[in-house]
Amino acid sequence: MDIDLVNRQEAVSEKLQKFRREGGILLAIETSCDETAAAVLNAPRGLLGASVHTQIPLHRQFGGVVPELASRSHVERLGPVVRDALLKAGVTFDELDAVAVTYGPGLVGALLTGVSYAKGIALSKGLPLIGVNHIEGHIAANYLSYSELEPPFVCLIASGGHSHIVLVEDYGCFSLMGKTRDDAAGEAFDKVARALGLSYPGGPALEKLALEGNPNAYAFHSSLNEGEGFDFSFSGIKTAVVNLLHNAQQKGEPLLFADIAASFQRAVVNALAEKSVRAALACGQKKLALAGGVSANRALRDTMAARASKDGISFYCPEFRFCTDNAAMIGCAGYYALLRGETSPLSLNAVPALALK
């Protein structure tokens, strides 16, 4: 091996040992989908500064994320976003002690932008690098909002790409209890919103429309969601909405879209809340957390809180700014991983279908 690289490795492992003993300043980067984000932390839960640039206006005209446009926008924005986060934190590049970056799951080109940037900083400044699983980041968003929350607990992660019920046994140690067999909850929100003529991203738009509707106007059933296990299915509910719209259109019958939105939301929210509380009870956990973009949904937060308290379970959900994609949550998960002594090599690659360990 090149002598410079050997020297670098030794310097980096010394820095990691110091970081484990004394902590330090960590830069976190998130570019897995349509948010370019950076954050600076001085402890796992010590956020000094953060910056997020959302690409929503860019993708809205196409009704969804266009991967190639997402990658290009990350390339353009990541530098300014990182500098903004450092400025807010009052930290310079030379004061950094470690770098964390999302390396999966997500869009390959989008992930590669962040991974390449993080590797560049780690190499040029001689810093330890840690690749973070995006889902683990979402779970860690709860640590940023609740200083007292410690594993073990059960967590429902509901995002645009995932609907998982996970037992968080320890920091970085998970066991999967249930997941969607088809669409993710956020994906179903986005698709139904599109069928109702709402703009991207559909989740927040559908939630707003649902406020004006009757949640009991329609009963959208799913036998899997009403069954015993912890897996979900959302594509049947989505198809039921689409069929309802088509049939009414063919017959020229008027429909109240707000009632459809409210009833769809109720079906999804009830399934998510009921299964996650039952999962917590099944493994004897008295703590239940929510994470992922759909955790910004007020109906889901309120229903889960009420359902959990009925069984004496404490409920946690992140502040709104940590619900959708951000780098603070990646920094929190990455910080804990470094404290455990984990690092990633400079050969770290993007892993689009990365599973939770």
Count of CA atoms in the C-beta half-sphere (13 A) of 351: 15
Which residue in the set 118, 325, 326, 343 belongs to the binding site for Zn ion (CB under 5 A)?
A: 325
> Which residue(s) pair with 99 in the sheet?
27, 129
Strand bridging mode 287-291 / 153-158: parallel
Q: How far is the CB of 238 from ligand KG4 (least distance, A)?
A: 12
Q: Are 293 and 30 in contact (CB under 8 A)?
A: no
Dist CA 29 CA 327 (whole Å): 5
Site string for Zn ion, 141-170 (x = CB under 5 A): ------------------x-----------
Binding site for ligand KG4 (CB under 6 A): 33, 159-161, 186-187, 189-190, 201-204, 207, 292-294, 296-297, 324-325
Q: What sign does the dihedral 39-299-253-237 (CA atoms) show?
A: positive
Query: Which does residue 296 bind out of Zn ion, ligand KG4, none, counting CB within 5 to 8 angstroms by kind?
Result: ligand KG4
Please report whether residue 190 would count as binding Zn ion according to CB under 5 A.
no
Smallest gap from Cβ 209 to ligand KG4, in A, equals 11
Q: Residue 189 in 3-state DSSP?
A: helix
- Residue 204 site contact among ligand KG4, Zn ion, none (CB < 5 to 8 Å, cut-off depends on kind): ligand KG4
Q: Name which of ligand KG4, Zn ion, none residue 190 binds, using a CB cut-off of 5 to 8 Å depending on partner kind.
A: ligand KG4
C-alpha–C-alpha distance, residues 170 and 152, integer Å: 6
Cβ proximity to Zn ion, 25 vs 156, nearer residue: 156
The answer to whether 229 and 176 have CB atoms below 8 angstroms apart is: no
Which CB, 145 or 159, lies closer to Zn ion? 159
| Residue 51 partner contact from ligand KG4, Zn ion, none using kind-dependent CB cut-offs of 5 to 8 Å | none
Residue nearest to ligand KG4 (CB): 293
Q: Could you tell me how many residues make up the chain?
A: 357
Residue 147 tokens read as: 């200083």
Q: How far is the CB of 266 from ligand KG4 (least distance, A)?
A: 13
Cα 203 to Cα 345: distance, rounded to the nearest angstrom: 37
- Residue 137 binds which entry of ligand KG4, Zn ion, none, CB below 5-8 Å type-dependent: none
Strands (E), 44-147: 46-54, 98-104, 129-133
Of 51 and 285, CB closest to ligand KG4: 51
- Of 59-67, 272-280, 321-329, 332-340, which part binds Zn ion (CB under 5 A)? 321-329
Q: How many helices (H) and strands (E) does the chain have?
A: 12, 10
Which of the choices ligand KG4, Zn ion, none does residue 207 contact, using the CB cut-off of 5 to 8 A by kind? ligand KG4
